[in-house]
Amino acid sequence: MQISLNSVTVKERWNLAQCIEGCVRHGIAGISPWRDVLQAMGVEKAARHIRDAGLTVTGLCRGGMFPAADAAGRAAAIEDNRRAIAEAHAIGARCLVVLGGGLPPGSKDLPGAREQMREGLHAILPDARAAGVTLALEPLHPMTCADRSVLSTLSQALDLCDELGEGVGIALDVYHVWWDPDLARQVARAGTRIAAFHVCDWKVPTTDTVFDRGLPGEGVIDIPAIRRMAVEAGYAGGFAEVEILSKLWWARDPDEVLDEITRRHAAFV
Amino acid sequence: MQISLNSVTVKERWNLAQCIEGCVRHGIAGISPWRDVLQAMGVEKAARHIRDAGLTVTGLCRGGMFPAADAAGRAAAIEDNRRAIAEAHAIGARCLVVLGGGLPPGSKDLPGAREQMREGLHAILPDARAAGVTLALEPLHPMTCADRSVLSTLSQALDLCDELGEGVGIALDVYHVWWDPDLARQVARAGTRIAAFHVCDWKVPTTDTVFDRGLPGEGVIDIPAIRRMAVEAGYAGGFAEVEILSKLWWARDPDEVLDEITRRHAAFV
């Protein structure tokens, strides 16, 4: 598999232009920007630079985040997702990565938040289909359920895929699913609906529920085993996207980080 | 439901004798000791004091923890579980709470660790049955999978219950399962096998993966909804056990903590 650089991995030090140049310099063939750095560069300009650099855009991060405290908030989230779909189309992204979003502030109604997520997905699906942008539902680790993602398991995401049909797939991030006793069965069930494959590692101890991910090999995840499951299931994308949210790695020189990623990719992915 | 005090809730300041006296003083009818405080007091003496105080022992924490780096380690864990079963019997505990245990140090073999857990359970089941001690399998939150519990979901625990049969049940802790999209279905499936019901709360943000639990009402878990599911499924134990691992609450005067627990129980459980 080839490497794709998710821009969040170097977000403290590099803008998108620097990410593109960094990929070229390090022989990294894929890129996946977050919307903030994409918008900062300008979508059309970014699309041109990425194309000129010959990079594959393995995804745009991120859409979703539908649950909100009121109807206006939910409508705003849906509108924002429509803009995200247009951006993903403009840069030729293979998919828009879609997150569940957390509970609305003050709410304890988890089933209600999950229903809002479902309704949001139905609302944007026609736009995604019209633009030819695959919505890649990414279940996040259950420790993010309250504040980031009420989409918690592959099984839940695949139930939504089954319901929504054409144009919806899965973003499979080993960090979020490695613990799942049902992993092998659900990855097989996902099949060719795996639209993106993300790698990082679970460190022991993990000192922060969001910002303490490891590079491949720093933790306990058997990444090659999950990679094999994904490929056997039908993932033919050929890229492993490196998405590291880490205060430790953010403090390092991005060229060092990309060296580490390249070195570790061969050994641990 | 009545309150049961899990000794870990006040572990920094009270020994088991003080826990027993504290329960009586605060009108708390149940207790669930951890083995360290039980052994420190002496099992027979503790059994007598608990009985004299008229407390129901809702559980003994904790057995399990089977995965180990070598055969000697696995055999030692099984022997230790046999002692835990004897202790649970001696104090008249309704169950021995059984944890999965984490990955052996340096291992990335999660399926292998789960198989070791399964083998350990089979090894101690005859002892548990002979002693009349229910093994209450407690799935822990997936964020503890690497270092504490390869038993991650209710579904996985109930598959083990189905396999092991008579004498094995579930310890249902809202903190560990509240996020599960399959929660309602699995609690219904558990039925009368729910041997213990534990409460605490998920705080936002959560700053530590082990030691930052909240008292009921401090977080986002809809505890009454899960209590109702458990009772409708067949949990007739009548106790909600308060098990709070929290550096913040450990720093407080235990009498204040028990006041808070009693006050919050009525409103949030």
How confident is the model over A28-69, as pLDDT tens digits? 999 999 999 999 999 999 999 999 999 999 999 999 999 999
Three-class SS string for chain A?
CEEEEEHHHHCCCCCHHHHHHHHHHHCCCEEECEHHHHHHHCHHHHHHHHHHHCCEECCEEEEECCCCCCHHHHHHHHHHHHHHHHHHHHCCCCEEEEECECCCCCCCCHHHHHHHHHHHHHHHHHHHHHHCCEEEECCCCHHHCCCCECCCCHHHHHHHHHHHCCCEEEEEEHHHHCCCCCHHHHHHHHHHHEEEEEECECCCCCCCCCCECECCCCCCCCHHHHHHHHHHHCCCCCEEEECCCEHHHHCCCHHHHHHHHHHHHHHHC
Which chain B residues have a beta carbon less than 8 Å from that of A179? Answer: 110, 142, 145-146, 152
* Interface probe, candidates B137, B143, B152, B213, chain A, greatest A C-beta count within 10 A: B143
List residues in chain B touching A: CB distance below 8 A. Answer: 103, 107-110, 114, 141-143, 145-147, 152-153, 155-156, 178-182, 202, 204-206, 209, 219-222
Closest Cβ–Cβ partner in B141, B146, B220 for A143: B141
As for the ipTM of the complex, it is 0.96
Backbone angle region of B180, left / alpha / beta, with phi > 0 → left and psi within -120 to 50 → alpha: beta
Q: Between chains, do B202 and A114 touch, taking CB under 8 Å as contact?
A: no
Residue B72, judged by CB atoms within 10 A of its CB (0-12, 13-18, 19+), counts as exposed
Mean pLDDT for the stretch of residues B198-206:
97
Mean pLDDT for the stretch of residues A116-121:
98
Q: Between chains, do A179 and B110 touch, taking CB under 8 Å as contact?
A: yes
Mean pLDDT for the stretch of residues A263-268:
96
- pLDDT tens across B95-130, in order? 999 999 999 999 999 999 999 999 999 999 999 999
List residues in chain A touching B: CB distance below 8 A. Answer: 103, 107-110, 114, 141-143, 145-147, 152-153, 155-156, 178-182, 202, 204-206, 209, 219-222
Separation CA A221–CA A136 (nearest Å): 22
Assign B201 a pLDDT band (cuts: 50, 70, 90). Answer: very high
Q: Between chains, do A181 and B103 touch, taking CB under 8 Å as contact?
A: no
Q: Closest residue of B to A205, CA-based?
A: B147
In the A/B pair of chains, how many CB contacts fall below 8 A? 83
Confidence (pLDDT) at B36: 98
- pLDDT tens across B20-66, in order? 999 999 999 999 999 999 999 999 999 999 999 999 999 999 999 99
- Do residues A158 and A189 touch, judged by C-beta distance below 8 A? yes
Which chain B residues have a beta carbon less than 8 Å from that of A141? Answer: 142-143
Which chain B residues have a beta carbon less than 8 Å from that of A221? Answer: 108
Which chain A residues have a beta carbon less than 8 Å from that of B219? Answer: 146
Q: Between chains, do A222 and B109 touch, taking CB under 8 Å as contact?
A: yes
Closest Cβ–Cβ partner in B108, B147, B220 for A205: B147
Q: Between chains, do B108 and A221 touch, taking CB under 8 Å as contact?
A: yes
Separation CA B220–CA A63 (nearest Å): 24
Helix axes B223-233, B183-190, angle to 10 degrees: 40
Domains of chain B: 2-268 (3.20.20.150)
Confidence (pLDDT) at B98: 98
Q: Between chains, do A180 and B152 touch, taking CB under 8 Å as contact?
A: yes
Confidence (pLDDT) at B17: 98
CB atoms closer than 10 angstroms to residue A141: 26
Assign B249 a pLDDT band (cuts: 50, 70, 90). Answer: very high
| Residues in contact with B228: Cβ distance below 8 Å, sequence separation at least 6, in sequence order | none
Assign A178 a pLDDT band (cuts: 50, 70, 90). Answer: very high
Tokens of A202: 């679970």
Separation CA A114–CA A100 (nearest Å): 8
Q: Closest residue of B to A219, CA-based?
A: B108
